[in-house]
Amino acid sequence: MTSGLQGITPYIFGTTRLGDPKIPRPERLKAARAAMDEGVWFHTSHTYGEALDVLAEAFSAEPVKIPKLIIKIGWETIGQLRQVIEQNLEPLGLPGMQLGQLCLGGELAEDYARGGDCYRVFRQVKEEGLVNGFVVEAFPWTSNQSVRALRGGYTEGIIDGFIFYLNPLQRFASNELWDVIIAREQPILALRTVSGGPVHSLRDVPGFAWKDYLQKRAVEVAPIFERSGIKSWTEFCMRFAHSFPLVQATIGSTSKTDNLDEFLEAAKAIVPLPEDIVSEIGILQSRWSDEVDIHAEKWSM
């Protein structure tokens, strides 16, 4: 395994819920500190509301437990990359991060796809110790740039893997990128462990799924989950992500220590799901990708 992913924890604590001001701050701090106690890696971004502020408070209370961080960086130009790194590290008071999650758009995405100058800057940023490694974010509408970069061989030796929604209801690498990632054995970080919440709530509670398509997918996946006989949706999802040998970790968020305990329990001795279940969901995901995902407006799903 490449250096940036060395020591990665199979469950990574996502921090969107830490950023939500509607949740009492002491509750969010408690969840953050409980996750720090467990030594799991964290995933964050300055775009997640108050998340960095809550993390800064938790880190300063117990600096020896500061976790390895995956942080979203980008976006559209090479110059912006350093600014965004600073925007995240400065509030946390940290000299560097474990993994920079490259969120690439505009001219920076095009440069990445054609093997341009950005790779020199990626290397510099790494040599300076601002990041220990990189993963590239993929969405259906950005998958093609990674297909081009991988086929060109440009990512070798500098990009440690790819990060995208991969859970029972979403596989946000296009089918073409998914096939290239599998063929080239690229490490994967799977986002949104439980697809946003329990599958029955996503299916049955009006407004629980933030988009209609997720409610429809929950209708298709709930019977597969029920048939598996697994009681906990969190366990089912943890096992789903880790049924793919290239998956190194799955990233899920919570503001509640009980739900954190469920993630941690599920991550203790992960057994892949039975093959027939994985392939049944895989067939759905391949269809959803072609019929829905790759036609979607950017950022609409």
Closest approach of Cβ 60 to ligand NAP, in Å? Answer: 21
Interface residue with ligand NAP among 253, 277, 281, 301 (CB under 6 A) is 253
Interface characters, 72-111, with ligand NAP (x: CB under 6 A): x----------------------------x----------
**Binding of ligand NAP at residue 30 (CB under 6 A)?**
no
Give whichever of 122 and 162 is closer to ligand NAP, judged by the CB atom.
Answer: 162
Give whichever of 224 and 266 is closer to ligand NAP, judged by the CB atom.
Answer: 266
Give whichever of 143 and 254 is closer to ligand NAP, judged by the CB atom.
Answer: 254
Give the span between the Cα atoms of 124 and 101, in whole angstroms.
16
**Binding of ligand NAP at residue 255 (CB under 6 A)?**
yes
- Note whether 272 and 243 are within 8 A (CB): yes
Closest approach of Cβ 180 to ligand NAP, in Å? Answer: 20
**Binding of ligand NAP at residue 197 (CB under 6 A)?**
yes
Closest approach of Cβ 120 to ligand NAP, in Å? Answer: 25
Of all residues in this chain, which one has the CB nearest to ligand NAP in the complex?
14
Token pair in block for residue 144: 């093609």
Closest approach of Cβ 153 to ligand NAP, in Å? Answer: 25
Tell me the site size for ligand NAP, rule CB under 6 A.
Answer: 25
Nearest to 221 by CA among 290, 132, 282: 282
**Binding of ligand NAP at residue 194 (CB under 6 A)?**
yes
**Binding of ligand NAP at residue 47 (CB under 6 A)?**
no
**Binding of ligand NAP at residue 140 (CB under 6 A)?**
no
Stretch that binds ligand NAP, among 57-65, 192-200, 269-277, 293-301 (CB under 6 A): 192-200
Give the span between the Cα atoms of 258 and 277, in whole angstroms.
27
Interface residue with ligand NAP among 85, 109, 138, 251 (CB under 6 A) is 251
| Binding site residues, ligand NAP, CB under 6 A | 14-17, 43, 72, 101, 137, 191-198, 234, 251-256, 259, 262
